[in-house]
Amino acid sequence: MAVREALLALLLTGPAYGFQLHSALATRTGGRRRVNVGQSYATLERASKAGLTESAGTTADGLPLHRLTAAGTAVARGWLEGTDAPGADPWDETIDRVLIGASLPDVDDRAIITDERARWADRLASAEADGDVDEATGTTAAATELVRLAGAADAARARAAIDWLDTTARVSASGRTLAFAPTAERPRRGRRPAMTSDAAGEAQPSAIA
């Protein structure tokens, strides 16, 4: 999945610390996305170096808070609006985008679902066209059949995506809200700043992204 884009989207609700975002990633994708906690922290560190996030201070007990920059906000909103991350699988992107978008307050999940459905309809049309090969092109019968099967596989996935999006649209239209605010409950884990000594020998927190 697009871990960076998903974490940035979570920050649209406001500043958060690393383990809070890590936990929210699993919760807001219905448990289907459980990445290694180290990957979450490393992704946040890279996002900071790329100018997509910045420090928002710390929690009362010293956990570093992250917040979006203007560039990070643009990436997060662009992802929710349908910009797939480079190298990401479209199927995973669709599911994660819809689930996360639906879970975030003040995000129009119906617009996300409509846009995703239109993209999969285009993919379905393309897959069906790819599977409609002409045997007179000089390819062998076996090669022709493989092309047809590949197109059929892509078409089947597109139909499955459209069916799932239609199901999700019905849930959204039913009035059952899937959105919730960030939890105030503290998880059991969370990276706290390491302590370093200043020139006077007093312990001071060091910055950890």
Answer whether residue 129 is part of any domain: yes
pLDDT of residue 140: 82
Q: Do 68 and 17 lie in a common domain?
A: yes
Answer whether residue 95 is part of any domain: no
Contact 127, 155 (CB under 8 A): yes
Per-residue pLDDT of the chain (209 residues; tens, 9 = 90+): 689 999 999 999 999 999 999 999 999 999 998 899 999 999 999 999 999 999 999 999 899 999 999 999 999 999 999 999 989 999 999 999 999 999 999 999 999 999 999 999 999 999 988 766 665 555 688 888 888 899 999 999 999 999 999 999 999 999 888 999 997 566 555 555 454 444 444 444 444 44
Q: Which residue has the tokens 């994660």?
A: 96
Q: Which domain holds residue 81?
A: 1-89+179-209
Q: Which two tokens stand for residue 42?
A: 């490393």
Q: Do 5 and 72 lie in a common domain?
A: yes
Torsion, Cα 71 42 37 17, to 10 degrees, reads: -50
Q: Do 54 and 131 lie in a common domain?
A: no
Answer whether residue 124 is part of any domain: yes
Answer whether residue 96 is part of any domain: no
Q: Do 70 and 113 lie in a common domain?
A: no
Answer whether residue 144 is part of any domain: yes
Answer whether residue 12 is part of any domain: yes
Distance CA(99)–CA(174), nearest Å, equals: 16
Distances, alpha carbon 78 to alpha carbons 74, 84, 111, 149, in Å = 6, 9, 13, 34
Q: Which two tokens stand for residue 20?
A: 């809070």
pLDDT of residue 191: 54
pLDDT of residue 189: 54
Count of domains forming the chain: 2
Answer whether residue 203 is part of any domain: yes
